[in-house]
A and B are shown apart, each in its own frame.
Chain A
Amino acid sequence: MTLWLMAGLLFTPLAWAVLTLLAGFRWGRAITWLGIAIQVLVSLALWAVVVRDGGFQYPLGGWQAPLGIELRVDGLAVTFVLLTALVAAASGLHAGFYLDPDKQWHRYFWPLFWFLWAGLNVVWLGNDLFNLYVGLELISLSAVGLVALGGQSEALRAALRYLMAALLGSLAYLLGVALFYGEFGSLSLSGIAFALRQDSARDGAGFALVLMLFGLALKTALFPMHRWLPPAHGIARSPVSALLSALVVKGSFYIAARLWLELGAPLGSLALAQLLGLLGGMAVFWGGWQALRQPKLKQVVAYSSVAQIGYLFLLFPLTWNTTEAAALQAQQAMTLQVTSHALAKAAMFLSAGNLIMSVGSNRVNALAGVSHFLPFSLFSFGLAGVSLMGLPPTGGFAAKWLFLQASLATGQWWWLVVLLGGGLLSAAYVFRVYRASFVEDSNIDHFFHPARRLEIIPMILALLSLGLGLMAEPVLSVMALTFANGEGT
């Protein structure tokens, strides 16, 4: 059973990527929808298995580490697998209705979509530093391809810039992997953590960790290395932007978090932890401020991602050398922030796409009258905004609350400024969009009305992000499930 689930999770996307590469847009769409159904079922089943039996380590093909590919299937991993299935299914369905089938290059959306999904699952489940690298590259390259799908020269420029940043990040990461291998002769994350517990005097390893975190932070668009993100996310087609903001940047962050939680205690330092937190805090303010000033709607949403990613980096200072209770709160906060931001940001990009399609312009000021004639998409946008502002009862609020508690419990009160100030700044840019849409300058409905199915998809995502706050406790109890058979070799 588990064998089939694991195989389904990793190989279906690859197989589907090849299948859709051979088909045109319309056939690709039909094939993809079948594949989405399979993937969602497999992801749900794996999640159910972990909820019932707890986590486990899984040697792929029966080979044990260090020879074979080792997967770690714990609560956190399956939660992200399921999250990916949800967001990818929504974006895939939306794209099927949203993309113009007659544009030549749109057929490549499907294979890139499936490569991306495969890469994400590798990252969530990988326990081997090199496999994580492979997953990361698969994600980056398909993401760059998806950005370029827009076709205009502006999109190609953004994609090229994205490619450069992604490659630089991957290189730094790979160098770190090589250093680790030289030091420990192992690539297994839990193996290295185990070796470090035996003997902690490893100077080179500390440098390797810094190098890898730098590469991953660059790929996550941490301030001030965020410059590539807004053009790429802003110019891409809306379902693509949803995938990029919701999932792609989370992939590299997830690896950084796993590295930190496993290796941070022996290899990290107070300065490194505080520096990462500080950059995160600056990202919150800088991203929020820029979002407030953008004339184009999708740029607002893209800069909001820069800000929201900043919160995630509070994980580093709040888990370094703190009490177990506070560290746990910070981890829970991070997971909730990743999950609720993924749902909310995907909802926001998809509904922004609908709004832009309706008013025929991507400028915020063009939204006048939308609240009168197109309330549905605007409402999804607003609901997602509530989660981004961190207002109750959303998942974003639950995350903020846990971050607040962890900051207070560790005496690092300065993060409160980031958490509360950042929330107000996000409110400012969300309400700016709202304000524009409440202006009534004419009584004529000159808007294009998108199909209901295009409007319902973001609404579902936004409601999920909202409900996550009410359901935070049970969701977190699944995330906390670790391996049944203890630590690795």
Chain B
Amino acid sequence: MTTGALLPVFALMTSLTAAVIIFTLPEHKHQLRTAVNLVAAVLKLLLVGLMVWGVFQGREYGISFPMIPGVEFVLRADALAMLFAGLSASLWLLTTVYAVGYLEDSPNRSRFFGFFSLCVASTMGIALAGNLFTFFLFYEMLTLSTYPLVVHRGTQQALQAGRTYIIYTLTGGAVLLFGIAMLHNFSGDLPFRPGGHFADVTPDLQAPLTLVFVILIAGLGVKAAIVPLHGWLPTAMVAPAPVSALLHAVAVVKAGAFGIVRVVFEIYGLETANALGLLSGLAAIAAFTIIYGSARALSQSDLKRRLAFSTVSQVSYIILGLCLAGPVGVAGGLVHLVHQGVMKITLFFCAGNYAETLGIHRIDELDGAGRRMPATSVAFTLAAFGMIGTPPLAGFITKWTMGTGALAAGMDWVIAVLVVSSLLNAAYFLPVLNRIWFREQKKEWPEERQWGRFETSAWLLWPPLITAGFLVLAGLLASASFSPLGWVELIVAREVDL
């Protein structure tokens, strides 16, 4: 076995090892813990970078071994895996930096960062899983390791949110397991494979395949926050800001969406799924979720809650893109996996900064915040415009590509969904921006803290500025081969034979 084959294992091990070290570190060793965190995150980013380069040149890395009779444990780095792994490895480094600043002086940091690292490991495993079974393994591990982060503060409200979260996600997991077991029962162990496994479906398989598809999507849809399975997401926003960033941008909702991508692309195959009529139903649900999430976001007065409903809406772009079933539409959906992550993490970082520095949680308290915290507010504004879909930011690229794809697929109604959704995005983001930049400060900030030279702690300030930079670059350089869009086109070329 070559070192190359083991690269996925190493990428996984960096955060697992970090988790074990951090759990055993005494609570007061703050600097050592931060060092372990950062070293592991940088190392992981390097390993993922190495794999991205290899995959770009056409290599594939992976290992497998038999785990339970009839089932293999498979780790594999392909282009699709690298899309998710690259997103999480790079955003993770920034979230770690942010979390170190955010949790300064708070108790239980060993526990927090231990589970935080376990989360990274799970996400990496989800990205690199080579079959549904391995995917499920890390999918459930992610559920377990995020629970302690959601309830981290230990307040009644946090515990209640944790309860809702765990009920939704574990039930979703059980449903998913049911689907996987059924699939396994009539087809055996299926590795993820470009083009899927059911190119020629015999008529007697059609009904069970349809049923299993519905069950799998229902199981995955809980984490992907498809309406009506989204109930946990807005409640879970009581978690600390770095955790929300992680739930909404990188790990949890993306794990669900990524699973749907794998099922549609590499188990069923895009063409088969479409031929069975499965994608039109999914498209309708995704479209409804997009509109519903945006509409609910409008009426929220809490900033993080508004962002949470916005996530409900935005994640379904990924799914809607898949359902367009043509290379361009699919590319639009997939690229949103990255774009939404970068934009939403910026928004949550900024919301966290307002909360930490000024004590602001409600939107009507934001009046005049732009003058007090200009850098944070610029990042927030860029991300908000990105979400609305203003050129040349990342969100515009998504919507443009998806729109082109919809026309190509002859699904013109999707254009209407995109337009309505963009109008709603504008309707719930512009008033916030208006308050930040154009209103005078009316009263004192609820709990203002001074951090020295910058408007807030440097640990908190740099991450959103960097991600805001990403979202501008992802839009400006969309045609470069290493932009998210460029990578997605590589995936589509390899995956979708249309």
A interface: dominant SS:
helix
Please encode chain A, from 412 to 445, with 1 for each CB lying within 8 Å of some chain B CB and 0 for all others: 0000100010011001000100110011100100
| Chain B positions 139 through 168: 1 when the CB is less than 8 Å from some CB of chain A, otherwise 0 | 011011001100101110001001100100
Residue of A nearest to B175 (CB): A420
Nearest CB to that of A408 among chain B residues?
B185
For residue A234, give the distance in angstroms from its CB to the closest CB of chain B. 26
List residues of chain B with CB within 8 A of the CB of A46.
none
Per-position 1/0 for B62-105, Cβ under 8 A of A: 00011111110100000000000000000000000000000000
Give residues of chain A (364-405) contacting chain B, Cβ–Cβ below 8 Å: 371-372, 375, 379, 386, 389, 391-393, 398, 401-402, 404-405
In the bound complex, residues from chain B placing their C-beta under 8 Å from that of A431 are 147, 163, 166
Give bound CA distance, A435 to B158, whole Å.
10
Least CB separation from B108: chain A residue: A372
| Residue B206 at the chain A interface, CB threshold 8 Å | no
CB distance from A438 to the nearest CB of B (A): 5
Q: Is B159 within 8 A of A405, CB to CB? A: no
User: Digit string of B166-192 for contact with A (CB within 8 Å is 1, else 0)?
Assistant: 100011011101100110110000000
The residue that B137 contacts in the complex, of A392, A405, A438, with Cβ under 8 A, is A392
**Option from A371, A402, A424, A473 in Cβ contact (under 8 Å) with B66:** A473
- Residues of B with C-beta under 8 A to A371: 108, 111, 148, 154
Partner of A405, one of B66, B151, B181: B181
B69 touches A476 (CB 8 A): yes
Within residues 186 to 225 of chain B, which ones have a CB less than 8 A from any CB in chain A?
A: none
The verdict on B470 contacting chain A, using a C-beta distance below 8 Å, is no
Is the Cβ of A379 less than 8 Å from the Cβ of B23?
A: yes
The answer, yes or no, to whether A409 is at the interface (CB within 8 Å) is yes
**List of B residues within 8 angstroms of A476 by Cβ:** 68-69
A to B contact number (C-beta, < 8 Å): 93
| Residues of B close to A375: CB separation below 8 A | 23, 110-111
CA A389 to CA B69, docked complex, whole Å: 21
Provide the A115-135 mask, 1 if CB < 8 A to any CB of B, else 0. 000000000000000000000
Given A423-B174, A439-B159, does the pair A393, B137 have CB atoms closer than 8 Å? yes
Q: Which of B73, B140, B154 has the most CB of A within 10 A?
A: B154
In the bound complex, do residue B67 and residue A420 qualify as a contact, i.e. CB atoms below 8 Å apart?
Answer: no
Write the nearest CB–CB distance from A307 to chain B, whole angstroms.
Answer: 16
Contact A392 B174 (CB under 8 A): no
Say if the beta carbon of B136 comes within 8 Å of chain A: yes
Please state if B182 and A408 are interface contacts (CB–CB under 8 Å). yes
Please tell me if A15 contacts chain B, counting CB pairs below 8 Å: no
Complex interface: chain A residues within 8 A of B111 (CB)? 371-372, 375
From A329, A405, A435, B162 is in contact (CB under 8 Å) with: A435
Task: Kindly list chain B residues whose C-beta atoms are within 8 Å of the C-beta of A405.
Answer: 70, 181, 184-185
Interface residues of A in 448-470 (CB under 8 A from B): 469-470
CA distance A423 to B144 in the complex (A): 14
Query: Does B446 have its Cβ within 8 Å of any Cβ on chain A?
Result: no
Contact A435 B159 (CB under 8 A): yes
B interface bracket (residues with beta carbon within 8 Å of A): 35 or more
- Partner of B141 from the list A392, A404, A438, A439 (CB cut-off 8 Å) is A392
Residues of A within 8 A of B155 (CB): 440
Cβ-defined partner of A420 (8 Å) among B23, B163, B174 = B174
Shortest B143–chain A CB gap in Å is 8
Per-position binary interface string of chain A over residues 145-184, scored 1 when its CB falls under 8 Å from any chain B CB and 0 otherwise: 0000000000000000000000000000000000000000
Residues 313-346 (chain A) with a chain B CB within 8 angstroms: 329, 332
A41 at the interface (CB under 8 A from B): no
For residue A214, give the distance in angstroms from its CB to the closest CB of chain B. 32
Partner of A473, one of B68, B173, B177, B184: B68
Given contacts A392-B137, A401-B71, A473-B68, contact A386 B144 (CB under 8 A): yes
Q: Which of B68, B73, B108, B143 neighbours the largest number of chain A CB atoms within 10 Å of its CB?
A: B68
Contact A408–B68 (Cβ < 8 Å): no
The contact of A398 among B68, B166, B173, by CB within 8 Å, is: B68
A379, A435, A439, A470: the one contacting B67 at CB < 8 Å is: A470
Pairwise interchain contact A391-B173, C-beta atoms closer than 8 A: yes
Q: Does A359 contact B (CB under 8 A)?
A: no
> Does B281 count as interface, using CB distance less than 8 angstroms?
no
Residues of A within 8 A of B162 (CB): 435, 438
Nearest chain-A residue to B174 (Cβ)?
A420
B391 CB-CB contact with A under 8 Å:
no
Inter-chain CA distance A36–B325, complex, in Å, is 64
Q: Render A277-288 as a binary contact track against B, CB cut-off 8 A, 1 for contact.
A: 000000000000
Collect the chain A residues with CB atoms within 8 Å of residue B140's CB. Answer: 391-392
Would you call A259 an interface residue if the criterion is a C-beta within 8 Å of the partner chain's C-beta atoms? no
A439 touches B154 (CB 8 A): yes
Question: How far apart are the CA atoms of A419 and B155 in the complex, in Å?
Answer: 33
Which residues of chain B come closer than 8 Å to A386, judged between CB atoms?
A: 144
Task: Decide if B23 touches A440 in the complex (CB within 8 Å).
Answer: no
Binding site for B on A (CB under 8 A): 329, 332, 371-372, 375, 379, 386, 389, 391-393, 398, 401-402, 404-405, 408-409, 416, 420, 423-424, 427, 431, 434-435, 438-440, 443, 469-470, 472-473, 476
Beyond the given pairs A393-B137, A401-B177, 13 more chain A to chain B contacts, judged by CB atoms under 8 angstroms and listed by A's residue number, are A332-B69, A375-B110, A386-B144, A391-B173, A392-B136, A393-B141, A401-B71, A402-B68, A420-B175, A443-B107, A472-B69, A476-B68, A476-B69
Q: What are 14 A-B contacts with C-beta separation under 8 Å?
A: A371-B154, A391-B143, A393-B137, A393-B141, A404-B177, A408-B182, A416-B181, A420-B175, A420-B178, A431-B147, A435-B159, A438-B148, A439-B154, A469-B67
B interface residue numbers (CB < 8 A to A): 23, 65-71, 73, 107-108, 110-111, 136-137, 140-141, 143-144, 147-148, 151, 153-155, 159, 162-163, 166, 170-171, 173-175, 177-178, 181-182, 184-185
Task: Report the 9 A-B pairs with minimum CB-CB distance, sorted nearest first.
Answer: A440-B154, A392-B137, A408-B185, A404-B181, A473-B66, A420-B174, A472-B68, A398-B68, A391-B140
